[in-house]
Amino acid sequence: MRNSTKIIAAGLALIGALSFSTLSVTTQAFAAKVAADKPAIPSTSGFSGVPGDATGGPDVKRSRFTYQTEPGQSIRDYFYVSNVGTEPIDLRVYAADGSTAQNGSFDVGVATDQPKDVGSWVHFQNGQPQLDVHLKVGQSKTLPFDLTIPANATPGDHVGGMAVSTIASTDGQIKIERRVVTRLYARLGGTITPALSVSNMSARYVAAFNPLDGIVFEHFTLSNTGNVSLKAVVTTQVLGPAGIQLAPDVVTSVAEVLPGFSRDVEIQVPGVGQWVYLNPRIHLVPDVDSDALNPGALKAADKDIVFFEFPTTWFIIIVICLAFYFTIRARYRAKQKQMKQWMLFTEQEARRKAGIDQ
């Protein structure tokens, strides 16, 4: 009996051990499958470039490079670049000339362009115009550079940008390059002439069903004819006959235009009626960014045109009303005429019958 009991106990222990081993293997296999099914976190490529300082860190007090200097001088400054992605990255750092596109956006040349203005004044170590930098994950570097002003440089603002970009990779026939640009302004002493002008002004009217609720689109070209970078606050309005203002003023901020560049601007003035004679007007007040150098007194500019907008909507409404009126009137007169004829006929018939009776 004792032997039987021992045999049974040993069997139960063996079964338990096998069950635990099977459960452990199954659990490990399930965990391995879960780990295999879990998607890997994708790596990201990210970088930044901001003004730096001599201590090796970013200069948090500056959002762009701004200098007031003279021809022939040289300035040492620092560009702080960082890898904010999850993988190492190769970057190219360079300076380029700035421009204003027709849509008003700020742009600089790419690394392969040859700068001719302030972009050509910047050099890195050993006089290099460009610098290739390798950054590990989370790594930052402060890159010193020199801005050397030519002796024959002209007064006013010379605008460009410090760019940090991924070294262009080729995907088939398409070259892909991502970059971050920090603006660079070098104002040289001499005669400073801030000036914005308005030209090529035109206007068009878009009618609404409500003849007093149309839209006037005022289009014009804004040109920086001076030597200082300027933005503008534009007030547009539309006057009608006798100088009556037909809609509230529309105030619009226009982004900075660099010296020597122009951009197209279009502003909508809603709530304008079709009063035949329309006189759109523009009042432009130049301004500068809050962190820009003070250019001195700024002169406003005004421009206006006159055009005639025939009240098509009103005309159609009036024509419909008149057509309805004359149709009803014609029908009414026709019925009146028929009634008079009927009354005359009945009167004649009555007289005729009265004569016969006599």
**3-state class of 280 per DSSP?**
strand
* Pairing assessment for the beta strands 89-100 and 122-123 based on DSSP bridges: unpaired
What are the structural domain ranges in the chain?
47-188, 196-310, 312-352
- 8 Å CB contact between 267 and 281: no
Sign for the CA dihedral angle at 60, 66, 70, 75 comes to positive
pLDDT band at 20 (very low <50, low <70, confident <90, very high): very low
212: which residues sit within 8 A by CB, 6+ positions away?
Answer: 271, 273, 274
Would you state the pLDDT for residue 171? 59
Rg (alpha carbons) of the chain, rounded to whole number: 41
Using pLDDT thresholds of 50, 70 and 90, give the confidence band for residue 12.
Answer: very low
Q: pLDDT tens-digit profile of 265-299? A: 999 999 999 899 999 999 999 999 887 888 888 99
- In the CATH hierarchy, which fold is given to the domain comprising 47-188? Immunoglobulin-like (2.60.40)
- CB burial of residue 141 (10 Å; 0-12, 13-18, 19+): middle
Tell me, yes or no, if the two domains 47-188 and 196-310 fold the same way. yes
User: Tokens 């028929």 belong to which residue?
Assistant: 338
What distance in Å separates the CA atoms of residue 165 and residue 34, rounded to the nearest whole number?
39
- 94 in Cβ contact with 110 (< 8 Å): no
In the DSSP assignment, the letter for residue 29 is H
Residue with tokens 């007040």: 285
Read off the pLDDT of residues 214-242 as tens digits, 9 standing for 90 and up. 999 999 999 999 999 999 999 999 999 99
CB under 8 Å, gap of 24 or more: what pairs does 166-169 form? 166/45, 166/47, 166/89, 166/90, 166/91, 166/92, 167/90, 167/91, 167/92, 167/132, 168/111
- At 104-117, the pLDDT tens digits run 899 999 999 999 99
CA–CA gap between residue 278 and residue 315 (Å, rounded): 17
Helix-, strand-, coil-residue percentages of the chain, each rounded to 5: 25, 40, 30
Token duo for residue 269: 């003035």
Which class would CATH give 196-310?
mainly beta
Q: Are strands 106-108 and 169-171 parallel, antiparallel or unpaired?
A: unpaired
Q: How confident is the model at residue 5 (pLDDT cuts 50, 70, 90)?
A: very low
Give the per-residue pLDDT at 87. 94
The larger pLDDT score, comparing residue 258 to residue 343, is at: 258
**Rounded distance between C-alpha atoms, residue 47 and residue 274, angstroms:** 54
What mean pLDDT value characterizes the chain? 85
The larger pLDDT score, comparing residue 250 to residue 112, is at: 250
Q: Which two tokens stand for residue 255?
A: 């982004």
